[in-house]
């Protein structure tokens, strides 16, 4: 700490240059963080996908609820659930979350990743105005099991003209899926459907669990064949296949963004490293004075490297904070397609390692020059 | 050897104890394909408490000799003993430690760090000690007081005159109470008045505080303030002809 005044004075020596350097490092690591978040989001899509699940969508519009029993009777399908719902909020319009209307028994059968106690399961199954909520949303609003919760819709209206569904919290579920999945409120489709004003008896999507993932394509075909002469026709595919299609379509853009972003990241850092090296080179004679005063190689190196690493770590940390905020903002728009979007801890660790590494390189390059130069020569040149 | 100089064997008897002893010191550089002999078999003894001026034309080897005495350069041959320590064969780290403890440098161009206040500049050598911040501050302020700059402790070098900058340089050189002060043209960048003040200060440090000082200078007026003067030419100590 006794060297801090010296370090701090050097950092403030050319304030504008330091600010621009910090800004460049911040921008570079904000980009790094965003790229990491996007990459994590893309990877997350595949991890969430289950080979034992297939999904049925309408080729046009929504599907009638009457498709449900027919799908469940298709050979190879072991469980079916369906989704409808709305964007809801609690007390204040800022407190938004996704309300999913589903068939409870089917939902828990199709999604074994969702963990819910036996007592809560039974309570929810038997309670039409009942609901379950993810751990995160329950914690955020302080909900307790048994609490009556007014869930308000942003757009969907009830037959009586109101937009509030009163539900009783029967249980709080947990899951290893990304956090987004812990922010849902799941309600009975029947309860929702009984009172919704429009699109009654229609669902947005069916999700099926199948007995043999190797038969996913054939089972999907059987489902689509069932509705070949119906309106709307369906398009069924395994979650993995759907995800792969998504990755192919979206992933190409993602890959290009990743490559361009990485190139920009390294370019910015190289420019920054050069600027920082230049700032040290300008002080060669001062470093020689320190050597003449008795500062050893280790101490002089430590001062130069600490200054460089300090700038990259401060700038880099700010960059990751910016990236985190940006990722949070972007997540709100893309959570349906990239539910795992977010900066993973491993990326933060890698980021810190890169910050330190670039700082060391920025300081080490001019240090070589400082050590090649004898103090006597440097003092004479000054 | 030039026509008006002769090889010097030390011109007057030197009182004991000897603080600085150079025996057969040589220094050569390679410049292009040529070897340049900057110092030639130089013998020199400086007693403790001496104030020695080294004069000579540019390129005579004065600054090289100072750098060797200060341990920021190494001789090509011969031995250098200061305060009983052979410094010519010390390793890099040991030499750096020795320098921090025993040598105070005063440079022609002051070489203060522009980003630090006068007090922080003076404190620099103390950063290498185990003193607390409070003790470092106390010593730095005492050194500044000694050079008459108590009221400028918070000023940065750019806010000081040349003479004041050199005083800060002197305070920095003496703050660790070194064995020897090495001054390289300490008044070379100052006007006569400021230069005289610096020379008065060096004289006081020598006479009142017993500091051993070796000063390189071109200026006979400055050299006259030293206790004795030696002349160098072409890497040798020479007898200056009497006029």
Q: Which residues contact B135 (CB under 8 A, 6 or more apart)?
A: none
Last residue of a domain, one of A232, A264, A280: A232
Predicted pLDDT at B159 = 95
Residues 125-164 of B with CB under 8 A from A: 125, 127-128, 133, 136
For A283, the closest chain B residue by CA position comes to B113
Do A294 and B97 make contact, defined as CB atoms within 8 angstroms? yes
How far apart CA A325 and CA A210 sit, in angstroms, is 39
Query: What average pLDDT does the structure give for chain A?
Result: 87
Report yes or no: B53 and B231 within 8 Å, Cβ to Cβ.
no
Whether residue A98 sits in one domain with residue A35:
no
Of the candidates B111, B124, B172, the beta carbon closest to that of A382 is on B111
Predicted pLDDT at B48 = 93
pLDDT > 90 in chain B, percent: 67
Of the candidates B67, B92, B96, the beta carbon closest to that of A294 is on B96
Do B101 and A375 make contact, defined as CB atoms within 8 angstroms? no
Do B127 and A3 make contact, defined as CB atoms within 8 angstroms? yes
pLDDT > 90 in chain A, percent: 47
Which value, to the nearest 10 degrees, does the dihedral of the CA atoms of residues A305, A311, A317, A319 take? -130
Identify whether A215 is part of a domain. yes
Mutation site for A-interface testing, chosen from B127, B136, B168, B181 by largest number of A Cβ within 10 Å: B127
- Whether the CB of B94 is below 8 Å from some CB of chain A: the reply is no
Q: Which residues of A touch B70 (CB under 8 A)?
A: 292
Residue A152 pLDDT greater than 90, yes or no: yes
Average pLDDT of A174-182?
82
* More confidently predicted of A372 and A167: A167
Predicted pLDDT at B142 = 94
Whether residue A190 sits in one domain with residue A68:
yes
Predicted pLDDT at A333 = 76
Identify whether A246 is part of a domain. no
- Whether the CB of B93 is below 8 Å from some CB of chain A: the reply is yes
Q: Which residues of A touch B132 (CB under 8 A)?
A: none
Whether residue A285 sits in one domain with residue A224:
no
How far apart CA B150 and CA B153 sit, in angstroms, is 6
* More confidently predicted of B80 and A369: B80
- Whether the CB of B90 is below 8 Å from some CB of chain A: the reply is no
Two tokens, residue B25: 């010191």
Residue A39 pLDDT greater than 50, yes or no: yes
* SS3 call for A190: helix
Residues in chain B: 243
Q: What is the DSSP letter of B155?
A: -
When pLDDT is cut at 50, 70 and 90, the band that residue B200 belongs to is: very high
Do B111 and A285 make contact, defined as CB atoms within 8 angstroms? yes
Do B96 and A379 make contact, defined as CB atoms within 8 angstroms? no
Residue A9 pLDDT greater than 90, yes or no: no
- Whether the CB of A296 is below 8 Å from some CB of chain B: the reply is yes
Do B172 and A285 make contact, defined as CB atoms within 8 angstroms? no
How far apart CA A164 and CA A99 sit, in angstroms, is 12
Report yes or no: A89 and A164 within 8 Å, Cβ to Cβ.
no
When pLDDT is cut at 50, 70 and 90, the band that residue A368 belongs to is: confident
Highest mean pLDDT among A137-141, A214-218, A272-276, A369-373: A137-141
Of the candidates B72, B115, B133, the beta carbon closest to that of A2 is on B133
Residue B168 pLDDT greater than 70, yes or no: yes
Residue A376 pLDDT greater than 70, yes or no: no
Query: What average pLDDT does the structure give for chain B?
Result: 88
When pLDDT is cut at 50, 70 and 90, the band that residue A377 belongs to is: low
Whether residue A83 sits in one domain with residue A24:
no
Average pLDDT of B231-240?
84
The pTM score is 0.64
Average pLDDT of A286-301?
86
Of the candidates B73, B125, B136, the beta carbon closest to that of A293 is on B125
Q: Which residues of A touch B63 (CB under 8 A)?
A: 380
Identify whether A124 is part of a domain. yes
When pLDDT is cut at 50, 70 and 90, the band that residue B47 belongs to is: very high
DSSP per residue over A218-279, as a string? HHHHHHHHHTTTSSS-EEEEEHHHHHHHHHHHHHHHHHHHHHHHHHHHHHHHHHHHHHHHHH
Whether residue A182 sits in one domain with residue A81:
yes
Whether residue A28 sits in one domain with residue A175:
no
Predicted pLDDT at A249 = 67
Do B124 and A293 make contact, defined as CB atoms within 8 angstroms? yes
State how many domains chain A has: 2
Report yes or no: A117 and A82 within 8 Å, Cβ to Cβ.
no
Average pLDDT of B99-128?
92
Q: What is the DSSP letter of B9?
A: P
Do A376 and B92 make contact, defined as CB atoms within 8 angstroms? no
Do A286 and B111 make contact, defined as CB atoms within 8 angstroms? yes
- Whether the CB of B74 is below 8 Å from some CB of chain A: the reply is no
Whether residue A209 sits in one domain with residue A69:
yes
Place of tokens 């026509």: B3
Size of interface A-B (CB pairs under 8 A): 73
This model of the complex carries an ipTM of 0.81
Whether residue A376 sits in one domain with residue A262:
yes
Range of the domain at A22: 4-47+251-381
Average pLDDT of A138-146?
95
For B176, the closest chain A residue by CA position comes to A293
Mutation site for A-interface testing, chosen from B61, B65, B72 by largest number of A Cβ within 10 Å: B72
Q: Which residues contact A220 (CB under 8 A, 6 or more apart)?
A: A54, A236, A237, A238
Residues 363-382 of A with CB under 8 A from B: 374-376, 379-380, 382
* More confidently predicted of A259 and A302: A302
- Whether the CB of A285 is below 8 Å from some CB of chain B: the reply is yes
Identify whether A239 is part of a domain. no
Residue B130 pLDDT greater than 60, yes or no: yes
Measured in degrees and rounded to the nearest 5, phi and psi for residue A202 equal -120, 150
For B132, the closest chain A residue by CA position comes to A2
CA-CA-CA-CA torsion sign (B92, B96, B101, B103): positive
Mutation site for B-interface testing, chosen from A12, A14, A18, A294 by largest number of B Cβ within 10 Å: A294
Of the candidates A9, A292, A296, the beta carbon closest to that of B115 is on A9
For A8, the closest chain B residue by CA position comes to B115
Identify whether A299 is part of a domain. yes
Do B120 and A5 make contact, defined as CB atoms within 8 angstroms? yes
Residue B140 pLDDT greater than 80, yes or no: yes
- Whether the CB of B43 is below 8 Å from some CB of chain A: the reply is no
Residue A171 pLDDT greater than 50, yes or no: yes
Identify whether A245 is part of a domain. no
For A289, the closest chain B residue by CA position comes to B111
Whether residue A142 sits in one domain with residue A100:
yes
Q: Provide the residue ranges of all domains of chain B, joining segments of one domain with +.
A: 48-72+91-238
Predicted pLDDT at B231 = 93
Whether residue A339 sits in one domain with residue A314:
yes
Do B116 and A2 make contact, defined as CB atoms within 8 angstroms? no
- Whether the CB of A256 is below 8 Å from some CB of chain B: the reply is no
Q: Which residues of A touch B73 (CB under 8 A)?
A: 374-376
- Whether the CB of B107 is below 8 Å from some CB of chain A: the reply is yes
B181-193 pLDDT, tens digit each: 999 989 888 888 8
Average pLDDT of B24-53?
90
DSSP per residue over A207-220, as a string? EEEES-GGGHHHHH
Whether residue A290 sits in one domain with residue A213:
no
- Whether the CB of B73 is below 8 Å from some CB of chain A: the reply is yes
Domain B48-72+91-238: top CATH class:
alpha beta
Predicted pLDDT at A342 = 84
Residue A256 pLDDT greater than 80, yes or no: no
């Amino acid at each position: 700490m006794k060297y801090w005044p010296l370090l701090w004075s050097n950092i403030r020596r050319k304030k504008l240059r330091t600010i621009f350097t910090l800004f460049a490092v911040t921008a570079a690591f904000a980009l790094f963080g965003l790229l990491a978040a996007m990459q994590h989001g893309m990877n997350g899509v595949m991890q969430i996908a289950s080979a034992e699940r297939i999904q049925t969508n309408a080729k046009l519009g929504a599907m009638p609820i009457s498709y449900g029993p027919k799908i469940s009777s298709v050979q190879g399908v072991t469980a079916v659930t369906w989704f409808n719902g709305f964007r809801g909020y609690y007390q204040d319009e800022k407190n938004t979350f996704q309300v999913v209307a589903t068939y409870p028994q089917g939902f828990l059968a199709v999604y074994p990743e969702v963990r819910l106690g036996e007592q809560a399961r039974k309570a929810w199954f038997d309670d039409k105005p009942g609901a379950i909520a993810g751990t995160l949303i329950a914690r955020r609003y302080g909900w307790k099991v048994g609490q009556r919760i007014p869930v308000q819709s942003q757009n969907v209206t009830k037959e009586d003209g109101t937009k509030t569904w009163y539900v009783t919290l029967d249980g709080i579920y947990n899951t290893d899926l990304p956090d987004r999945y812990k922010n849902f409120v799941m309600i009975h489709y029947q309860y929702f459907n009984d009172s919704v004003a429009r699109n009654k008896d229609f669902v947005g999507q069916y999700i099926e669990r199948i007995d043999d993932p190797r038969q996913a394509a054939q089972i999907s075909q059987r489902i689509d064949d069932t509705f070949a002469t119906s309106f709307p026709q369906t398009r069924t595919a395994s979650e993995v296949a759907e995800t792969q299609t998504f990755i192919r379509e979206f992933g190409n853009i993602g890959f290009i963004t990743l490559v361009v972003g990485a190139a920009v990241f390294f370019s910015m850092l190289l420019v920054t490293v050069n600027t920082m090296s230049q700032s040290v080179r300008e002080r060669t004679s001062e470093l020689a004075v320190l050597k003449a005063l008795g500062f050893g190689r280790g101490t002089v190196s430590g001062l130069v490297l600490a200054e460089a690493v300090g700038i990259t770590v401060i700038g880099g940390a700010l960059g990751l904070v910016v990236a985190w905020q940006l990722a949070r903002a972007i997540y709100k728009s893309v959570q349906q397609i990239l539910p795992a979007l977010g900066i993973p801890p491993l990326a933060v660790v890698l980021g810190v390692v890169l910050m330190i590494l670039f700082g060391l390189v920025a300081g080490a390059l001019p240090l070589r020059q400082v050590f090649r130069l004898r103090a006597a020569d440097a003092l004479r040149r000054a | 050897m030039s026509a008006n100089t002769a090889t010097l064997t030390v011109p007057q008897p030197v009182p004991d104890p000897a603080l600085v002893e150079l025996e057969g010191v040589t220094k050569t550089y390679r410049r292009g394909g040529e070897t340049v002999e900057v110092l030639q078999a130089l013998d020199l003894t400086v007693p403790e408490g001496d104030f020695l001026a080294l004069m000579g034309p540019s390129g005579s080897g004065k600054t090289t000799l100072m750098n060797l005495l200060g341990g920021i350069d190494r001789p090509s041959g011969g031995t250098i003993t200061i305060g009983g320590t052979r410094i010519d064969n010390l390793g890099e780290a040991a030499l750096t430690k020795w320098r921090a403890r025993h040598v105070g440098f005063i440079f022609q161009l002051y070489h203060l760090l522009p980003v630090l206040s006068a007090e922080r500049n003076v404190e620099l050598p103390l950063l290498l000690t185990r003193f607390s911040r409070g003790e470092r501050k106390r010593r730095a302020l005492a050194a500044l007081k000694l050079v008459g700059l108590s009221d400028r402790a918070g000023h940065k070098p750019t806010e000081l005159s040349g003479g004041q900058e050199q005083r800060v340089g002197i305070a920095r050189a003496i703050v660790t109470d070194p064995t020897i002060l090495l001054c390289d043209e300490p008044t070379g960048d100052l006007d006569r008045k400021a230069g005289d003040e610096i020379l008065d200060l060096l004289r006081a440090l020598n006479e009142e505080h017993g500091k051993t000082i070796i000063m390189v200078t071109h200026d006979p007026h400055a050299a006259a303030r030293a206790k004795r003067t030696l002349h160098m030419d072409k890497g040798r100590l020479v007898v200056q002809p009497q006029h």
